[in-house]
Chains A and B, each alone.
Chain A
């Protein structure tokens, strides 16, 4: 079998975080190679290194085959036609003008190769997601890509569309294309994979054959060990401080019931796209919902009203620290006082910065701080507002190990003071280690709730389960 691309010892750092650590990967002609791993295991970084978007800190990528990546976010121009999108950047030309006749002649051939029956003159905007994906694949094939990388293509597809995609992948494999397939759906892997490389914490922890069992894949993916890393100090549970009842937003999440009591940490686990962040934002009043109820300390909140939520004692540390949590153009102090402008007191700001051990001055631009210290600023902003319930969405993403433990200790301190914490996290050991109960979401529903001491296998089994809509 011909090897198209050989990657050896790929290592990549982002600041203090080691995203990839000595990963080897072969991509062979006529083979579907699955990359499997939890969110943040390093799959996307590996793809970016293979595609040449990131240069590796160490290691080599060798190969002659040209490579195309189909990302989850499609790179099509919605207002242009199918044909124009297929030949974007390489429009056939005649006398300096676009040769529409030539384009119309060549487009159907390409569309045929991916089995797509659409009018080449139709606007891409009018097509479904699955069809758009096929157009991207067709475009990649026209560039004679020897290697096609599909980054979670099925996440947005229906079952029938997924079947169709897997079928086409099978055909391409037959034509000698090397495919790299990233997916969280283990059943899809069992249907199509020739080889499975499992990543965990930036390392390749095993290469499996096509006959691998689901059990085996999950075990490798989540690993074992690490319970002591999470210094959770359990508290006596008090009265319910946050109560989410039957919360529903059509097409996003449905019938969500979560209760968090004083002194308690409740975790929300699940795959990316399961609707965890959406529930957190709706509860906090950022986004609207169709029906259901959110209560803080027994008092119902007005929907879609952040001010009311904050007044009632709710706080949210959003998942995207730089995009949603911080005003990067401002100083540490100005960010700390953001939620409590009325309480402008230099001494309190210095106090809280000290208590959180923020490494940086209060008058320093917040963008100069490390990820961990930035996150502490976002948390500090809410501590100043003295919330009863704090929702933390991916609080340790992109945060170094030392700062992670400090954030865990902050969580402990909050619950010791009788506050309640709702912890949304894709980091399984973290969400299990720090939570008193774990709610697992899948496909916008609560797939189940696990008591403390649940295993990662149990969480994963719930997270990947298919719920019939």
Chain B
């Protein structure tokens, strides 16, 4: 391989290389990391954030941000527990649609619009739940279960959503338009793309994915809690950014986001195995996020 193609490969797969190095280091320090059961565990742990982050990828590629995904996940799970799972999905998509309307027709900055939704959706979760956790029905519980001991459903769902995300980003008009809008909104508009309507769908997708993530989380726990998924939006954003997407829009891939979510899960799992105190874990994760973003910014120069 020539120097140039190595560099190109490394720059396109920096996150993947980072993930492998990370896994290697942990495996050397604590061989138990490589147990099949542990690896499956990592996958399951990554699933909720990954599904949420796939939805976030659409928004970030289109040049926006969605801070409400954690709250939407909790609301969808709660509504799902109180009524039925699919209703939760509908509620999540509706919340996303409202985000989209506020951003495109209300001309609010995405940060503000979704910050408002973060609060509203969390508040509604508390109202509906009356502050109590609620048991999930069998359908939702099934989402968090294992098909066989070696085949956890959350892992499969993560891969399913990964496939859907890749398909939307690369093979649909909506996906192509996300890159155009995030890369240069003015050029997209002047090329006849109805930027406002596209944004509606983009935020609705993010809401839908967040709701799915919320149902998977509730399924694993067997109940929907009023304080579920607090702060998950930040992990989702971190996964997208570690995966190489640019917060200024126009850049991002499904593979990158998957790797980003895995990096976070591997790191958490590894730090636990190495018995790093939880308070320090947060410090380490923060440093890793900063390093990933720093590498990305150096690469672009």
- Chain B residues near A324 (CB-CB < 8 A): 184, 186-187, 190
Minimum CB–CB distance from A415 to chain B (whole Å) comes to 23
Which B residues from 128 to 186 make CB contacts under 8 A with A?
173, 176-177, 179-180, 182-184, 186
Report whether B177 and A306 are in contact in the complex, using a CB–CB cutoff of 8 Å. no
B7 interfacial contact with A, CB 8 Å? no
- Chain B residues near A201 (CB-CB < 8 A): none
- Chain A residues near B173 (CB-CB < 8 A): 341-342, 344
Measured between alpha carbons, how far is A328 from B179 in the docked complex, in Å?
A: 10
- Chain B residues near A316 (CB-CB < 8 A): 190
Cβ-closest chain A residue relative to B174? A341
Measured between alpha carbons, how far is A286 from B193 in the docked complex, in Å?
A: 11
Which A residues from 329 to 347 make CB contacts under 8 A with B?
329-330, 334, 337-339, 341-342, 344
B188 interfacial contact with A, CB 8 Å? yes
A110 interfacial contact with B, CB 8 Å? no
A128 interfacial contact with B, CB 8 Å? no
Beyond A329-B179, A341-B176, list 16 extra A-B contacts (CB 8 Å). Answer: A286-B189, A324-B190, A325-B187, A325-B190, A327-B184, A327-B187, A328-B183, A329-B182, A329-B246, A329-B250, A330-B179, A330-B183, A334-B179, A338-B180, A339-B191, A342-B173
A334 touches which of B176, B182, B194, B249 (Cβ 8 Å) = B176
Minimum CB–CB distance from B240 to chain A (whole Å) comes to 16
Minimum CB–CB distance from B199 to chain A (whole Å) comes to 15
Residue-by-residue, is A258-271 near B (CB-CB < 8 Å gives 1, otherwise 0)? 00000000000000
Minimum CB–CB distance from B82 to chain A (whole Å) comes to 41
Report whether B190 and A327 are in contact in the complex, using a CB–CB cutoff of 8 Å. no
- 23 contacts across the A-B interface (CB closer than 8 A): A286-B189, A286-B190, A306-B190, A307-B192, A310-B192, A316-B190, A323-B184, A324-B184, A325-B190, A327-B179, A327-B184, A328-B184, A329-B179, A329-B184, A329-B246, A330-B180, A330-B183, A330-B250, A338-B180, A341-B176, A341-B193, A342-B173, A385-B192
- Chain A residues near B250 (CB-CB < 8 A): 327, 329-330
Measured between alpha carbons, how far is A284 from B183 in the docked complex, in Å?
A: 22
Residue-by-residue, is A38-58 near B (CB-CB < 8 Å gives 1, otherwise 0)? 000000000000000000000
Known contacts: A323-B184, A326-B184, A330-B250. The answer to whether A341 contacts B190 by CB under 8 A is no
B251 interfacial contact with A, CB 8 Å? yes
Q: How many A-B residue pairs have CB under 8 A?
A: 64
Measured between alpha carbons, how far is A23 from B275 in the docked complex, in Å?
A: 71
Cβ-closest chain A residue relative to B177? A341
A318 interfacial contact with B, CB 8 Å? yes
Measured between alpha carbons, how far is A328 from B182 in the docked complex, in Å?
A: 10
Cβ-closest chain A residue relative to B171? A344
Report whether B189 and A329 are in contact in the complex, using a CB–CB cutoff of 8 Å. no
A381 interfacial contact with B, CB 8 Å? yes
- A-B pairs with lowest CB-CB distance, top 3: A329-B250, A327-B183, A329-B183
Measured between alpha carbons, how far is A272 from B182 in the docked complex, in Å?
A: 30
- Chain A residues near B190 (CB-CB < 8 A): 284, 286, 306, 316, 318, 324-325
Minimum CB–CB distance from B283 to chain A (whole Å) comes to 33
Residue-by-residue, is B239-263 near A (CB-CB < 8 Å gives 1, otherwise 0)? 0000000100111000000000000
Chain A residues near B (Cβ < 8 Å): 284, 286, 306-307, 309-310, 316, 318, 323-330, 334, 337-339, 341-342, 344, 381, 385
Known contacts: A341-B173, A381-B191. The answer to whether A323 contacts B186 by CB under 8 A is yes
Minimum CB–CB distance from B29 to chain A (whole Å) comes to 39
Interface centre among A284, A316, A330, A342 (most CB of B within 10 A): A330
Minimum CB–CB distance from A320 to chain B (whole Å) comes to 8
Measured between alpha carbons, how far is A323 from B187 in the docked complex, in Å?
A: 7
Measured between alpha carbons, how far is A309 from B190 in the docked complex, in Å?
A: 11
Minimum CB–CB distance from A133 to chain B (whole Å) comes to 29
Minimum CB–CB distance from A442 to chain B (whole Å) comes to 26
Cβ-closest chain A residue relative to B252? A329
- Chain A residues near B179 (CB-CB < 8 A): 327, 329-330, 334
- Chain A residues near B189 (CB-CB < 8 A): 286, 306
- Chain A residues near B193 (CB-CB < 8 A): 338, 341
Minimum CB–CB distance from B251 to chain A (whole Å) comes to 6
Measured between alpha carbons, how far is A341 from B171 in the docked complex, in Å?
A: 11
Residue-by-residue, is B187-212 near A (CB-CB < 8 Å gives 1, otherwise 0)? 11111111000000000000000000
- Chain A residues near B186 (CB-CB < 8 A): 323-324
Interface centre among B180, B187, B192 (most CB of A within 10 A): B192
Measured between alpha carbons, how far is A328 from B194 in the docked complex, in Å?
A: 19
Interface centre among A323, A327, A334, A344 (most CB of B within 10 A): A327
Minimum CB–CB distance from A332 to chain B (whole Å) comes to 13
- Chain A residues near B184 (CB-CB < 8 A): 323-324, 326-329
Report whether B191 and A338 are in contact in the complex, using a CB–CB cutoff of 8 Å. yes
Measured between alpha carbons, how far is A385 from B192 in the docked complex, in Å?
A: 11
Report whether B188 and A338 are in contact in the complex, using a CB–CB cutoff of 8 Å. yes
- Chain B residues near A344 (CB-CB < 8 A): 173, 176
Interface centre among A284, A306, A338, A342 (most CB of B within 10 A): A338
Minimum CB–CB distance from A347 to chain B (whole Å) comes to 17
Measured between alpha carbons, how far is A327 from B63 in the docked complex, in Å?
A: 12
Interface centre among B176, B177, B187 (most CB of A within 10 A): B187
- Chain B residues near A338 (CB-CB < 8 A): 180, 187-188, 191, 193
Cβ-closest chain B residue relative to A337? B176
Known contacts: A324-B187, A334-B176. The answer to whether A329 contacts B251 by CB under 8 A is yes
Cβ-closest chain A residue relative to B250? A329
Minimum CB–CB distance from A352 to chain B (whole Å) comes to 15
Measured between alpha carbons, how far is A391 from B144 in the docked complex, in Å?
A: 57
- Chain B residues near A306 (CB-CB < 8 A): 189-190, 192
Report whether B192 and A339 are in contact in the complex, using a CB–CB cutoff of 8 Å. yes
Measured between alpha carbons, how far is A334 from B177 in the docked complex, in Å?
A: 10
- Chain B residues near A330 (CB-CB < 8 A): 179-180, 183, 250
Interface centre among A307, A310, A318, A341 (most CB of B within 10 A): A341
Minimum CB–CB distance from A105 to chain B (whole Å) comes to 42
Measured between alpha carbons, how far is A329 from B190 in the docked complex, in Å?
A: 17
- Chain B residues near A334 (CB-CB < 8 A): 176, 179-180
Minimum CB–CB distance from B230 to chain A (whole Å) comes to 33
- Chain A residues near B183 (CB-CB < 8 A): 327-330
Measured between alpha carbons, how far is A11 from B173 in the docked complex, in Å?
A: 47
Measured between alpha carbons, how far is A342 from B172 in the docked complex, in Å?
A: 9
Cβ-closest chain A residue relative to B184? A327
Minimum CB–CB distance from A85 to chain B (whole Å) comes to 28
Measured between alpha carbons, how far is A334 from B183 in the docked complex, in Å?
A: 11
Measured between alpha carbons, how far is A342 from B177 in the docked complex, in Å?
A: 11
Measured between alpha carbons, how far is A341 from B172 in the docked complex, in Å?
A: 9
